[in-house]
């Protein structure tokens, strides 16, 4: 790769890093949001580097609430939500029911149980530690909890939802009347945002300087 190609690739990586960090900071108050980290992986002298975006570990604090349909996940697992024909994963456990008793995610997607879409009859709702849903003392269904097999291709869709994840069924514990907080470290991400922005500015200056050197060389050749 030519020096100018290295500069352009690095500048594009910085732009992507700023987008990811900004997404983290914008969702610092979104329950269950999983922050992303960006890494540069060196490929070869001809290819330069490749950017990898991975979700951070699920470690987050638990916030107590007063809602019976708020659910916190106590391990590295996710709820399944179907929205617009797509199965998405989330740790945002704010749920509610519609007039037909369908259990819905805050995004409006349907929450999946081990028997498919979850429908709850009227009555007091109890969510057991293993994810079983009981209404008026009778088991209705069980939350279908999964773990991600890898996070390289995941895409954030808003409302704490992630798409394109490979996953497997999980045996996980949940807590009713609680929500997972976001696992964003705002201080670290603000520092990363400032550092990356400054690095991008320095690359822009280097690009313009190199461009001026090339133009000066071309002008000198034109005079001969």
Separation between Cα atoms, residue 24 and residue 160, nearest integer Å = 11
Q: Tell me the per-residue pLDDT of 41-94, one tens digit each, with 9 for 90 and over.
A: 665 556 667 778 888 876 789 999 999 999 999 988 999 999 999 999 999 999
Separation between Cα atoms, residue 111 and residue 43, nearest integer Å = 41
Q: Tell me the per-residue pLDDT of 112-140, one tens digit each, with 9 for 90 and over.
A: 999 999 999 999 999 999 999 999 999 99
The model's confidence at residue 211, banded by pLDDT at 50, 70 and 90, is low
* Range 138-142 contact pairs with CB under 8 angstroms and sequence separation of 24 or more: 141/113, 141/114, 141/115, 142/113, 142/114, 142/115
Task: Return the structure tokens found at 155.
Answer: 């895409």
- Average pLDDT over the chain, rounded to an integer: 89
Note the pLDDT of residue 183: 94
Higher-confidence residue of 198 and 4: namely 198
Q: Is the Cβ–Cβ distance between 159 and 104 less than 8 Å?
A: no
Note the pLDDT of residue 223: 55
Note the pLDDT of residue 65: 97
Separation between Cα atoms, residue 221 and residue 224, nearest integer Å = 5
Query: pTM higher than 0.85 for the full model?
Result: no
Q: Burial-class residue 73 by CB neighbours within 10 Å (0-12, 13-18, 19+).
A: buried
Note the pLDDT of residue 140: 97
Q: Over 60: is that where the pLDDT of 222 sits? A: no
């Amino acid at each position: 790769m030519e020096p100018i190609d290295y500069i352009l690739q690095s500048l594009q990586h910085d732009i992507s890093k700023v987008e990811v960090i900004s997404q983290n900071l914008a969702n610092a108050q979104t329950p269950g949001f999983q922050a992303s980290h960006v890494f540069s992986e060196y490929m070869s002298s001809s290819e330069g580097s490749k950017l990898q975006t991975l979700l951070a570990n699920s470690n987050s604090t638990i916030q107590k609430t007063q809602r019976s349909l708020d659910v916190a996940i106590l391990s590295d697992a996710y709820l399944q939500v179907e929205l617009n024909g797509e199965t998405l994963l989330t740790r945002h456990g704010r749920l509610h029911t519609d007039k037909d008793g369908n259990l819905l995610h805050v995004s409006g997607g349907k929450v999946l149980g081990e028997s498919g879409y979850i429908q709850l009859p009227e009555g007091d709702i109890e969510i057991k530690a293993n994810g079983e849903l009981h209404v008026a003392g009778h088991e209705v269904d069980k939350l279908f909890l999964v773990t991600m097999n890898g996070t390289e291709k995941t895409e954030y869709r808003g409302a704490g939802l992630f798409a394109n994840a490979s996953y497997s069924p999980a045996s996980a514990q949940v807590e009713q009347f609680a929500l997972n907080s976001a696992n964003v470290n705002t201080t670290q991400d603000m520092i990363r945002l400032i550092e990356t922005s400054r690095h991008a500015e320095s690359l822009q200056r280097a690009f313009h300087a190199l461009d001026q050197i090339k133009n000066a060389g071309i002008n000198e050749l034109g005079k001969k």
